[in-house]
Amino acid sequence: MNLEELFNLHKEQSIEGRYLTLDHIQPLLDKLNSNNQVQIIGKSVLDKPIYSYQIGTGETRIYLWSQMHGNESTTTKALFDFINVLNSGSDFARQLLDKFTFYTIPILNPDGAALYTRENANKIDLNRDSQNLTQPESKILRGVFETFMPHYCFNLHDQRTIFGAGNTGKPATVSFLAPSYNEEREINENRLKAINLIAGINDTLQQYIPGQVGRFDDSFNINCIGDTFQFLGVPTILFEAGHFPNDYEREITRKFLFFSLISSFKLLCENDLVDNRINDYLNISQNKVVFYDFMYKNIKINYDGIEIITNFVAQYKEELIENEIHFNAYIAEVGELENYFGHYEYDAQGANYSDNHNTFPKVNEKADFYLNKNVKFVNGLIKS
Ligand SMILES: [Zn+2]
């Protein structure tokens, strides 16, 4: 199967970029709802509908939800690309629909999606609410789990640009976790199913993004939804869409998420899961916080009359302004910053730092500055 071709054929062209709300997916849901496959399964804090979409008649029940964190839209895009495959009428689609029943919630947190926040409208992180179930969105997610009784759960997220795949200097473009079900982080039959599946997906991804797959820390936290569902005996896989060089809109990462979904169901369909792939799973690089968006090296700064040569870093803040996400770069830290990398790196070779106020970079200021008074940087990037 040519995954690139499959993606190009079925990519949902009507959605793109980082800001993805109910308004954006409503036309897609209307189109998919030819025979009541789309349902309103509840309301958010701000009374917005939460939709499900179900397709397939197979015995193996698959539960997928995206945008539990409102500003994490990449997997929602990939989910719609995948749904297009399911509706394509191809032999592969028929094979999947005979084998599986898919229950999807494309935007679990529509209020957070509109506000472009991780949390819901009550400022609660839904992924820490899986025991207390204080929020309507958490109750809905749990309610479907109880009634649909999935065989597999897919917990779909985005991660920040700070994560690398180990200490290699490569970003973690896609990361995975088979969450723990107890404090001891033991591996039972269900967790092993998730582990084997991730190992299989990783085999595929390594062909396209070698060294850019990460494995998340498996500390047990029963308040996280993946840990809870795993604890309740259902193999659960956490997907984290991460950074690909220069792809802040996450349109390239979207493709690798699509590849991951296709690989998952191909593996499950063909029963192509080897018995025990714990070692392969553990060999996936661990997710490490090693990146900033910008790193400037060998900058001469003048602090109170003392000149030193040092490094500094800047990080984008994603700010929602008039329905658009703006990436605004702010200075994050000054120092040697050993063991860190920049997605963008610039060696100033001892040039003098200055900005409109200071002769040294100041944390939390915009990354607008000069080197030797003549090389200008605006919003983190060199201006030619
Ligand atoms: Zn998340």
Query: Using alpha carbons only, what angle is made at residue 360 by residues 359 and 361, rounded to the nearest 5 degrees?
Result: 135
- C-alpha 44 to ligand 1 mean position (Å): 18
3.20.20.70, 3.40.630.10, 3.40.50.300, 3.90.209.20: which CATH number matches 3-288?
A: 3.40.630.10
- C-alpha 276 to ligand 1 mean position (Å): 28
Average pLDDT in the chain: 97
pLDDT along the chain (384 residues), means of 10: 96 98 98 96 98 98 98 98 98 98 98 98 98 98 98 98 97 98 96 96 98 96 97 98 98 98 95 83 97 98 94 98 96 97 98 96 98 96 91
| DSSP one-letter code for 126 | G
Specify the pLDDT at position 1: 85
Specify the pLDDT at position 271: 77
- C-alpha 23 to ligand 1 mean position (Å): 21
Specify the pLDDT at position 384: 77
Specify the pLDDT at position 197: 96
Q: Which CATH class is domain 291-382?
A: mainly beta
Alpha helices, DSSP H, located in the chain: 3-10, 22-32, 74-86, 91-99, 110-115, 136-148, 189-208, 225-231, 251-269, 278-282
Domain definitions of the chain by residue range: 3-288, 291-382
- C-alpha 120 to ligand 1 mean position (Å): 12
- C-alpha 149 to ligand 1 mean position (Å): 23
Tokens of 377: 């940087």
The yes-or-no answer to whether 3-288 and 291-382 have a common fold is no
- C-alpha 110 to ligand 1 mean position (Å): 14
- C-alpha 15 to ligand 1 mean position (Å): 20
Nearest to 202, CA basis, from 254, 279, 150: 279
Amino acid at 230: Q
Tokens of 87: 């509706």
- C-alpha 125 to ligand 1 mean position (Å): 9
- C-alpha 378 to ligand 1 mean position (Å): 30
- C-alpha 262 to ligand 1 mean position (Å): 21
- C-alpha 159 to ligand 1 mean position (Å): 6
- C-alpha 268 to ligand 1 mean position (Å): 25
- C-alpha 130 to ligand 1 mean position (Å): 14
Nearest to 311, CA basis, from 355, 359, 361, 358: 361
Torsion region of 350: left, alpha or beta (phi above 0 gives left; psi -120 to 50 gives alpha): left
Q: How many residues does the chain have?
A: 384
- C-alpha 227 to ligand 1 mean position (Å): 14
Alpha-carbon Rg for the chain, nearest whole angstrom, is 22
Nearest to 102, CA basis, from 223, 265, 222: 265
Residues within 5 Å of ion ligand 1 by Cβ?
69, 72, 157
Specify the pLDDT at position 14: 98
